[in-house]
Amino acid sequence: MTAQRPAAGREAQRKGERGTSLRYRMMALARTRENVISLGRGDPDIDTSPAIVEGGLERFGRSGRAHGTGPVRGLASVREGIAARQAREKGIEVDPAREILVTNGAQEGLFLAMLALVDPGDRVACQDPRYSSYDQAIGVAGGEIVPVPTGGDRPFLLGGRELREHARGAKMVVFVNPSNPTGACVEGDGVEALARAAADLDLVVLSDEIYEDVVFNETPFRSFLAVDAARERTVVLSGFSKAYAMTGFRVGYLIGPPAFIDAVEALKSTTSGPCPAFSQHAALAALEADPDPRPAYLARYRARRRALLDGFARLGIPHGPHGGGLFMWADISRFGMDAETFCYRLLDEAGVLMFPGNAFGRRWRGWVRVSLLAPEADIREAMERIAGFTGGLVARD
């Protein structure tokens, strides 16, 4: 008799893992090379502000019962701080006791939201291209993905018309703004149009707003929660990783109707439990930081964005509209190979890591995702390396 051994079942292997495994394989390969410039993964390379780290330690030390397990929903002070920021910066009133839950990073928030909202067989509309973790989370919940094309007369921007054409019969729509992977940013009127379309189709909205503080356009970011037509049907997913360079602290949060928060709390209480207390105290220090570190981070990202735009212009590489977020979306189809081959060769021959577009949707084999999360000097050096690599391709082809 053959002994049973722990191994991933076929369903676990199948559930949307293609894009994620491709990215992680490329990162593992990059670690075996020397002098690689990474324009791949989405972890901010900027150090967390010392005021946040020290403020978190100070709050943690005087919290009274620092060693104990806190409330599953998160510390009341953190939820109150999140609610205060929503009111101060967006004019949105949220009940911190009933409508906010703190998660172990936004990634956990995504999976908990899907498990709470999606039943087996439910159809979930997602913009295409999209971050591959959504495929996995929807698959784990037993849902079916309905890709909604972005484009038309507004490249890579999801609109109400596209939603009406492709999302009929779906239970829910996932909306990431600014977009990962494209960096496209839907602004005020566009958010209103999407909210009206979601209401007309009776869709639940999961609005991923993790990049809300990384917006380069002049128009202020608009949350779905600020649209009256969407408020009662919307769940917001966000966190501290991107805005405050706190990826390692793992603090995210969900905002939604009380019944939804109750359901997520029940799920979380039997899986991971509450977010670690120190991380929550650091998040509170971030919310209360004076000066606020976000404008300085944004200025650095803006300079890096300019370095990428300059490089693309010099190389004649088309790119999608980039209004915000930490990634750009570039068209490499003219170089005569699919994006996966292009990225592997670029890593091998030029020492630059970026991710192929088909990691974010099967039809994007002529595009690549390029990250802003490297120092400006490294980005400019990477563009020089790309110029040498693509120049050789043009000469040969």
Residue 117's nearest CA partner among 134, 96, 132, 129 is: 134
Interatomic CA distance for residues 87 and 93, integer angstroms? 5
pLDDT score of 332:
96
Both tokens assigned to 160:
């109400």
**Short-list 248, 123, 209, CA closest to 173:** 123
Check residue 61 and give its pLDDT: 81
Q: Are 173 and 163 contacting, i.e. CB atoms less than 8 angstroms apart?
A: yes
Per-residue tens of pLDDT for the chain, all 397 residues: 556 566 445 555 455 455 568 888 999 989 999 999 999 988 889 999 999 999 999 988 887 665 667 899 999 999 999 999 999 999 999 999 999 999 999 999 999 999 999 999 999 999 999 999 999 999 999 999 999 988 655 678 888 999 999 999 999 999 999 999 999 999 888 999 999 999 999 999 999 999 999 999 888 899 999 999 889 999 999 999 999 999 999 999 999 999 999 999 999 999 999 999 999 999 999 999 999 999 999 999 999 999 999 999 999 999 998 999 999 999 999 999 999 999 999 999 999 999 999 999 988 999 999 999 999 999 999 999 999 999 988 644 4
Could you give the angle at the alpha carbon of 236 between the alpha carbons of 248 and 84, nearest 5°?
A: 80
Cα gap 299→318, rounded to integer Å: 24
For residue 319, give the DSSP letter.
B
E strand segments, the chain: 37-38, 100-103, 123-128, 144-149, 172-176, 204-208, 234-239, 252-255, 327-331, 352-353, 355-356, 367-371
Using CA atoms, how far apart are residues 329 and 153, in angstroms rounded to an integer?
17
CA dist list (Å): 156 to 29, 41, 182, 195, 304: 30, 21, 7, 18, 21
In terms of C-beta density within 10 A (0-12 exposed, 13-18 middle, 19 or more buried), how is residue 395 classed? exposed
- What pLDDT is stored for residue 66 in this prediction? 56
Domains and CATH numbers, the chain: 10-47+293-396 (3.90.1150.10), 50-288 (3.40.640.10)
